[in-house]
């Protein structure tokens, strides 16, 4: 039996195709994955993300506890800022990827994935100090993602009020439609947009207000996946897994240089190796060996894509594995994300994916694959 969000009946009424995902029945598609994808890139779409989890962590020892628990630098976060990082096991394996919000000096949120929520909750509780308070906010909380370059004007028109000016990876506690909410700007599509956290019993009202104007259209998990793959964003269970350590998140950026997502005490974006955290020593040992693979984007020659688990080859020798593969509507070509050996990870490298029916020629491309996203615009 799968759980249902507060919007299940609304999805069915809109003709959504419902599918199981992380223990929930979720909308895969409404009008079509490609139309929903392209509408998000050009206008604004709303996604039901109510299945994800939110934890409240507060107290005088909350900051120190979170510094041990997550890889990102918590102490450097100012109130109103949030950051992305990992929750690791002792052996360095990825338990989850999370976003940490700092609401105040001793008040924090962690946003976690639906499929790992129960395990995350138990793991975090077991590693908190007695003076740190933990609250699972998930049952009473709902989350809508409004994504697209027109999101600001469209949301303001739909909800009838101006929104605060938020920087990228910032948030604010606000009152919208007489309801206390938290509004953030992180995003999973590469486009400008917001995440709206509202009480679960209020989310149908907000959903229908957003759709009423016709400027914002619903989009499902299918478009969410094509959008995030074009940006090279990881999905737990694909690019991130319990049996993998996160040095594999290293990638080549648009400049052609290997980005220091984890390497270096002060340069790491997702992992602050200068501080002690659970799993750090296992990660450090793997970094020192250099025997890890790099996450790359692959451009294929046609519309046929590789699938997760397909081997990546170089001159008949296995050099990697596909983690996600699909047709990219914004690029009009098949693409993939894959972990490959560092020696073959530079942009322009010619590789092949051994698919179920044929070998597919592929070329390494710097991430993001789609380079016109508006997420960081002011």
pLDDT, tens digit, 9 for 90 and up, residues 139-151: 999 999 999 999 9
pLDDT at 199: 98
pLDDT at 268: 44
Mean pLDDT of 150-168: 97
φ, ψ of residue 344 in degrees (nearest 5): -120, 25
Residue 225 falls in which region: left (phi positive, over 0), alpha (psi -120 to 50) or beta: alpha
Please classify residue 12 by burial: count the beta carbons closer than 10 Å to its beta carbon, then call 0-12 exposed, 13-18 middle and 19+ buried: middle
DSSP string of 152-175? HHHHHHHHTSPPP---TTBEEEEE
pLDDT at 270: 87
Mean pLDDT of 25-45: 98
pLDDT at 266: 25
Q: Is the pLDDT of residue 246 over 50?
A: yes
- 247 confidence band (pLDDT: 50, 70, 90): low
46 strand-pairing partners: 146, 218
CATH of domain 232-365: 2.40.30.110
Mean pLDDT of 309-324: 96
**pLDDT tens digit sequence for 60-83:** 999 999 999 999 999 999 999 999
pLDDT at 269: 62
pLDDT at 370: 97
- Domain boundaries along the sequence of the chain: 3-52+139-229, 54-132, 232-365
Q: What long-range pairs does 131-136 form, CB within 8 A, spacing at least 24?
A: 131/59, 131/60, 131/61, 132/57, 132/58, 132/59, 132/61, 132/62, 132/65, 133/56, 133/57, 133/58, 133/59, 133/62, 134/55, 134/56, 134/57, 135/55, 135/56, 135/57, 136/53, 136/54, 136/55, 136/56
Which has more confidence, 8 or 260?
8
What percent of the chain lies above the pLDDT cut of 90?
85
CATH of domain 3-52+139-229: 3.30.1360.120
- Could you report how far apart the first and last alpha carbons of the chain are, in Å? 43
Kind of pairing, strands 311-314 and 350-354? Answer: antiparallel
Instruction: Measure the CA–CA gap between 107 and 131, rounded to whole angstroms.
Output: 13
Contact 164, 174 (CB under 8 A): yes
pLDDT at 327: 98
Given CATH 3.30.390.50, say whether it is the number of domain 54-132. no
Mean pLDDT of 218-239: 96
Is the bond preceding residue 368 a cis peptide, omega within 30 degrees?
yes
Q: Is the pLDDT of residue 241 over 60?
A: yes
Q: Is the pLDDT of residue 274 over 90?
A: no
pLDDT at 252: 46
């Amino acid at each position: 039996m799968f759980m249902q969000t507060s919007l299940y009946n609304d999805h069915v009424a809109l003709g959504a195709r419902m599918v199981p995902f992380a223990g929930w029945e979720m909308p895969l598609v409404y009008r079509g994955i490609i139309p929903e994808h392209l509408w998000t890139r050009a206008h604004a779409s709303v996604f039901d993300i109510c299945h994800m989890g939110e934890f409240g962590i507060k107290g005088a020892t909350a900051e120190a506890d979170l510094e041990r628990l997550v890889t990102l630098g918590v102490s450097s976060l100012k109130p109103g800022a949030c950051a992305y990082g990992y929750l690791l096991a002792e052996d360095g394996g990825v338990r989850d990827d999370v976003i940490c919000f700092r609401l105040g000096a001793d008040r924090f949120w962690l946003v976690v994935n639906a499929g790992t929520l129960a395990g995350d909750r138990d793991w975090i509780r077991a590693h908190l100090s007695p003076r740190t308070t933990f609250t699972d906010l998930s049952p009473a909380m709902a989350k809508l993602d409004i994504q697209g370059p027109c999101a600001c004007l469209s949301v303001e028109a739909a909800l009838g009020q101006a929104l605060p000016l938020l920087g990228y990876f910032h948030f604010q506690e606000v009152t919208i439609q007489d309801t206390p909410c938290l509004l953030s700007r992180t995003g999973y599509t590469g486009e400008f947009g917001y995440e709206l956290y509202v009480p679960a019993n209020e989310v149908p009202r907000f959903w229908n207000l957003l759709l009423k104007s016709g400027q914002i259209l619903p989009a499902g998990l299918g478009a969410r996946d094509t959008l995030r793959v074009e940006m090279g964003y990881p999905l737990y269970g694909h690019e991130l897994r319990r049996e993998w350590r996160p040095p594999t998140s290293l990638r080549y950026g648009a400049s052609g240089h290997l980005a220091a997502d984890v390497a270096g005490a002060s340069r790491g974006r997702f992992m602050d190796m200068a501080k002690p955290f659970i799993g750090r020593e296992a990660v450090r040992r793997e970094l020192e060996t250099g025997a890890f693979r790099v996450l790359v984007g692959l451009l294929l020659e046609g519309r046929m894509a590789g699938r997760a688990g397909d081997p990546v080859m170089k001159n008949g020798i296995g050099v990697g594995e596909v983690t996600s593969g699909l047709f990219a509507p914004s690029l009009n070509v098949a693409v993939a994300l894959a972990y490959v050996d560092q020696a073959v990870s530079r942009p322009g490298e010619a590789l092949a994916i051994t698919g179920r029916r044929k070998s597919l020629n592929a070329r390494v491309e710097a991430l993001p694959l789609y380079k016109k996203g508006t997420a960081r615009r002011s």
